[in-house]
Amino acid sequence: MVKKFFERFYVGLIILFLYAPIIILILLSFNSSKSRAKWGGFTLRWYRELFKNESIMNALYTTLIIAVLSALIATIIGTAAAIAINSMKKTPRTIMIAITNIPMLNADIVTGISLMLLFVALKFTLGFTSVLISHITFNIPYVILSVMPKLKQLNPHTYEAALDLGATPLYAFFKVILPDIFPGVLTGFFLAFTMSLDDFVITHFTKGPQINTLSTKIYTEVRKGIKPEIYALSTLMFVTVLLLLIIINRKNDKNANKNTIISKI
């Protein structure tokens, strides 16, 4: 029992370690002083002002648009690529997989710099498009990664059977293959979405002046002190995700199905 107590205690400590900064940030969102270093009393002011703050709302909008678009495009390109890679012979397949691993294992700073150098060399103005392209680039591997296992589980004979029964390859793809790999595609999409939402370093190097994502916006504010509205926004986002996950988890627990999006991530 002592052992059990120690185990609980240990897990509790780690959870405290992981969540302490988050509690602080949530508290700061209710702090009426503009300075992070001073507690000025409780207020809900920042939650009201958040929606009036154009530059933060713009950053949120840009972040979401880039996340959705890059995840979507990466999902399409990545799913197609996964199917193709899956039907390749061993050598080309190994090469493809090796190259796909590069953006995942490489340091963010190197990926960001190399893309920026490319855009500048091509005289391509840094801005929305350059960030979008970069995000698609680091998102595709996640989609491939999520779809490949599903493809491996696929029974090869159903597709052939569909063809034998007179289906065109395209029809057979949509009716036979896609439904089976769809959970993988969906996981890939959400994963890519999260990656894009979370990225700072690569965006930092490939963005132009006219756009800011939430991450880059926060980084410019680190020096002069973060605007309290940012704390309010992050609190809202965090609580939203928390609630969503609890709901999904409840639902899945009821269905006795542990395959939530989370366990996949």
**For residues 186-225, which are near other proteins according to CB under 8 A?**
191, 194-195, 198, 200-201, 205, 208-210, 214-215, 218-225
DSSP 21: H
* Run of H or E including 171: helix 169-172
24 binds other proteins (CB under 8 A): yes
Q: Which of residues 141-170 bind other proteins (CB under 8 A)?
A: 142, 145-146, 148-156, 158-160, 169
Number of residues lying near other proteins (CB under 8 A)? 123
Which residue in 50, 134, 228, 229 binds other proteins (CB under 8 A)? 134
Query: Least Å distance between CB 48 and other proteins?
Result: 16
- Quick check: 82 and 147 in contact, CB under 8 A? yes
Q: Exactly one of 14, 44, 243, 247 binds other proteins (CB under 8 A); which one? A: 14
**What is the Cα–Cα distance from 147 to 4, expressed in whole angstroms?**
40
HSE (CB half, 13 Å, CA atoms) of 95? 4
> Which one, 171 or 198, has the nearer CB to other proteins?
198
Contacting residue, 81, 131, 202, 232, with other proteins by CB under 8 A = 81
Instruction: Decide if 150 contacts 180 (C-beta within 8 A).
Output: yes
Minimum CB separation of residue 44 from other proteins in Å reads 19
Q: Which of 16, 44, 84, 243 binds other proteins (CB under 8 A)?
A: 84
Residues 230-259 that bind other proteins (CB under 8 A): 230-231, 234, 237-238, 241-242, 245, 249, 252-253, 258
d(CA 2, CA 211): 55
* 44/117 with CB nearer other proteins: 117
Closer by beta carbon to other proteins, 44 or else 242 = 242
Binding positions for other proteins, 42-61, rule CB under 8 A: 54-55
Least distance CB 210 / other proteins (angstroms): 5
Q: What is the CA radius of gyration of the chain?
A: 23
Question: Measured between alpha carbons, how far is 64 from 123 in angstroms, rounded to an integer?
Answer: 27
Site residues (CB under 8 A) for other proteins, limited to 26-45: 28, 33-38
Both tokens assigned to 29: 């969102």
Q: Residue 73 is encoded by which pair of tokens? A: 């495009």
Burial class (CB in 10 A: 0-12, 13-18, 19+), 8: exposed
CB 59 within 8 A of CB 214: yes
